[in-house]
C-alpha cells in the first residue's frame, strides 16, 4: 500500500485561484499540496487561452494566460508547494474534526486538516472521437493521455488529431515506437509550425506514416487493439496497431466533485462569503466552482476568496494560536517567509 501523504491543506485544482491560495496560506505558515488533472498548472488560463491577453488583473495592465500562470508560480515559489499533476481527485471523505482523507486516480492518499476545492469549471476531460465501439478499448489500448512514455516502447501506435497534443506526442513517441502512424482528417495542422515541419520531415524520411482520413472502425478483442480502419479520400486502409492515442481536445465536466457529499446548487458549491467554507467545516470552495450572491467568475474575485479562506483555514491548522493581521510591506516576519528580509 502507498504511504499516506500528510500535510495541512490539499488544494484541488492548480488554476490561477488554486495557485494564489498557496501564497495566502503560505504567509500564514500553512503548507499545501495541489492536485490537478492537467499535466501543467494554470487551469483555464494555461489550457484554454495561454496566448490571449487578460486586461483585468489588478496591477497588471496586460498579461497573457500563460504569463499569469508563470507569474503566480514565481510568486508562490518561496512556499515550495508540492504538485501532483496529471491526477484527478476522486474521493474526499471527512474522517475527523476536521481531518479529511483524499484519494486520487493515481492511487495516492492524503490526510489533511483542510481541503480547498479550486476546481473551476470542473475537470478537463478528453473528447471521445466518434468511433463506434471504442469504449471497451479505452484505458487498455486506447489512451487519451500519456502517463508513461515507456509503456509505448516497441509498439505500433496510431496517433489521431491535428493540434499541438497530437503533434507533440507524435514527435515524442516516434523514436520509441515500433512504427507510428499519425491520422488527421485534413492535410492542415493547427499545431505549432515547427512541430508540423518536424513531423513532415520524419514522414519524408520514411520514419513514420501520415494518413489523411478518419479512423472509422477498430478491430481487436478483450480491449486489445489489433488494427484500425482508416477511411481516406480513395479507400479504407487497415492499419495494424497495438495502441491508439486520440487527441481531440478537452471539454469541462463537473466530474467527481458532485459525489463528495457537499451541498451543491446548479453544479456549483454555495459558500459562506466570510470564510468561503462549504456546508462541511474545514472544506472550502474558491474560484469559479463556488456560488454566492453577487458572484462573478473573475480571477480577481478568486484571489480575494483565497485570502479570506486562508484566515479561516489557519484556525483549523493552528487551533491554539491567535492570528495577527500583517502587511507584507511592513512585516519582517512575512518578508522572511518570502525570502526578501
Nearer to ligand FAD, 110 or 137 (CB): 110
Work out whether 169 is an interface residue with ligand FAD (CB under 6 A): no
Q: Compute the least distance from the CB of residue 134 to ligand FAD, in Å.
A: 23
> Which residue is at the shortest CB distance from ligand FAD?
120
Nearer to ligand FAD, 16 or 191 (CB): 16
State the pairing for strand pair 250-253/123-126: antiparallel
Q: Which of 30, 54, 166, 264 binds ligand FAD (CB under 6 A)?
A: 54
Work out whether 102 is an interface residue with ligand FAD (CB under 6 A): no
Work out whether 249 is an interface residue with ligand FAD (CB under 6 A): no
Residue at grid coordinates 507533440: 168
Residues 60-79 that bind ligand FAD (CB under 6 A): none
Q: Are 70 and 46 in contact (CB under 8 A)?
A: no
Contact region with ligand FAD (CB under 6 A), list: 69-77, 117-125, 221-229, 276-284: 117-125
Work out whether 145 is an interface residue with ligand FAD (CB under 6 A): no
Q: Are 103 and 3 in contact (CB under 8 A)?
A: no
DSSP 2: P
Q: Are 134 and 223 in contact (CB under 8 A)?
A: no
Q: Compute the least distance from the CB of residue 58 to ligand FAD, in Å.
A: 10
Q: Which of 15, 213, 270, 282 binds ligand FAD (CB under 6 A)?
A: 15
Nearer to ligand FAD, 13 or 67 (CB): 13
Q: Which of 6, 39, 56, 240 binds ligand FAD (CB under 6 A)?
A: 56
The CA distance from 262 to 92, in Å, is 10
Q: Compute the least distance from the CB of residue 341 to ligand FAD, in Å.
A: 30
The CA distance from 6 to 111, in Å, is 5
Burial of 25 (0-12, 13-18, 19+ CB in 10 A): buried
The CA distance from 42 to 46, in Å, is 5
Nearer to ligand FAD, 63 or 134 (CB): 63
Q: Compute the least distance from the CB of residue 149 to ligand FAD, in Å.
A: 22
Q: Are 109 and 103 in contact (CB under 8 A)?
A: yes
Positive or negative, the CA dihedral 129, 134, 139, 141 is negative
Q: Are 300 and 56 in contact (CB under 8 A)?
A: yes
Residues 256-315 that bind ligand FAD (CB under 6 A): 256, 287-288, 297-300, 302
Q: Compute the least distance from the CB of residue 121 to ligand FAD, in Å.
A: 5
Q: Compute the least distance from the CB of residue 258 to ligand FAD, in Å.
A: 10
Q: Compute the least distance from the CB of residue 297 to ligand FAD, in Å.
A: 5
- 338: three-class secondary structure by DSSP: coil
Alpha helices, DSSP H, located in the chain: 16-27, 43-47, 65-76, 164-173, 193-204, 299-317, 332-337
- 201: three-class secondary structure by DSSP: helix
Work out whether 45 is an interface residue with ligand FAD (CB under 6 A): yes
Q: Compute the least distance from the CB of residue 291 to ligand FAD, in Å.
A: 12
Interface residue list for ligand FAD (CB under 6 A):
12-18, 35-38, 43-45, 48-49, 54, 56, 88-89, 118-124, 255-256, 287-288, 297-300, 302
Amino acid at each position: 500500500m502507498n504511504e499516506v501523504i500528510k500535510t495541512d491543506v490539499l488544494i484541488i485544482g492548480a488554476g490561477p485561484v488554486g495557485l494564489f491560495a498557496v501564497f495566502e496560506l503560505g504567509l500564514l505558515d500553512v503548507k499545501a499540496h495541489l492536485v490537478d488533472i492537467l499535466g501543467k498548472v494554470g487551469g483555464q488560463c494555461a489550457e484554454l487561452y495561454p496566448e490571449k491577453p487578460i486586461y483585468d488583473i489588478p496591477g497588471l495592465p496586460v498579461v497573457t494566460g500563460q504569463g499569469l500562470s508563470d507569474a503566480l508560480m514565481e510568486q508562490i515559489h518561496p512556499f515550495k508547494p508540492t504538485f501532483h499533476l496529471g491526477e484527478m481527485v476522486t474521493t474526499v471523505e471527512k474522517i475527523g474534526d476536521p481531518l479529511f482523507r483524499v484519494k486520487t486516480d493515481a492511487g495516492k492518499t492524503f490526510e489533511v486538516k483542510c481541503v480547498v476545492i479550486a476546481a473551476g469549471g470542473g475537470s478537463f476531460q478528453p473528447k471521445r472521437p466518434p468511433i463506434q465501439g471504442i469504449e471497451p478499448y479505452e484505458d487498455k489500448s486506447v489512451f487519451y493521455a500519456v502517463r508513461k512514455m515507456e509503456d509505448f516502447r516497441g509498439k505500433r501506435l496510431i496517433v489521431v488529431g491535428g493540434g499541438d497534443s497530437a503533434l507533440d506526442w507524435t514527435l515524442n513517441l516516434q523514436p520509441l515506437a515500433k512504427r507510428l502512424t499519425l491520422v488527421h482528417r485534413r492535410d492542415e495542422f493547427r499545431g505549432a509550425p515547427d512541430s508540423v515541419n518536424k513531423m513532415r520531415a520524419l514522414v519524408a524520411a520514411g520514419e513514420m506514416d501520415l494518413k489523411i482520413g478518419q479512423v472509422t472502425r477498430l478491430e481487436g478483442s478483450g480491449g486489445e487493439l489489433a488494427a484500425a480502419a482508416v477511411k481516406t479520400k480513395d479507400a479504407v486502409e487497415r492499419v495494424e496497431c497495438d495502441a491508439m492515442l486520440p487527441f481531440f481536445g478537452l471539454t469541462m465536466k463537473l466530474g467527481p466533485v458532485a459525489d463528495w457529499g457537499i451541498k451543491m446548487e446548479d453544479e456549483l458549491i454555495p459558500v459562506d462569503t466570510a470564510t468561503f467554507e462549504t456546508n462541511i467545516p474545514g472544506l472550502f470552495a474558491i474560484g469559479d466552482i463556488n456560488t454566492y450572491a453577487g458572484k462573478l467568475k473573475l480571477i480577481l474575485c478568486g484571489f480575494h476568496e483565497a485570502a479570506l479562506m486562508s484566515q479561516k483555514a489557519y484556525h483549523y491548522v493552528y487551533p491554539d494560536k491567535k492570528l495577527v493581521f500583517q502587511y507584507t510591506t511592513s512585516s519582517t516576519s512575512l518578508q522572511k517567509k518570502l525570502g526578501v528580509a
